[in-house]
Amino acid sequence: MTEESLQTAPESIDAAPVSVPEPDDYTGRIIRTIIAVVAGFFAGLICFMFEGMATQSAGSSSGIFAILVLIAAIMIQKHVFMALRLRYTLEKKDWFYQGFMTFSFWFVTWTILLTGTAMNAA
């Protein structure tokens, strides 16, 4: 028997395996997302609670306070990450994601609360 007479199975070309993130990294990303959601919710709640006081004392509502609360909610997240011993040196895109998630939940929470009081007043 020679080497030429042996038949071998054709080599199949398999795709490269998809890299799966480490469980700790995956868990950390989920926790960071939950922190952004909670920060946005509380920022919207604070804006709603103090919006009534601002209109009663000054006579008109200013959006500056609401924007400052939103920025503070985004900036506080880094300190929460440090307290929870999560990776807090994130890239720009990760901070953009954190900011967007916080903004989204801030906006939705504040809008729902304002809509509820507008419907009760009518």
Q: What is the pLDDT of residues 16-51, one digit of tens each?
A: 677 666 767 888 889 999 999 999 999 999 999 987
pTM (two decimals): 0.71
Q: Is residue 80 part of a domain?
A: yes
**Are residues 86 and 31 in contact, defined by beta-carbon separation less than 8 angstroms?**
yes
For residues 89 and 19, give the distance between their C-alpha atoms in angstroms, rounded to a whole number. Answer: 22
Q: Is residue 5 part of a domain?
A: no
Q: Is residue 79 part of a domain?
A: yes
pLDDT tens track for 66-118: 999 999 999 999 999 889 888 777 889 989 999 999 999 999 999 998 887 66
How many CA atoms lie within 13 Å of 117's alpha carbon, on the beta-carbon side?
Answer: 9
Q: Is residue 70 part of a domain?
A: yes
Q: According to the model, what pLDDT value does residue 4 have?
A: 62
The 10 Å Cβ neighbour count of residue 50 is: 14
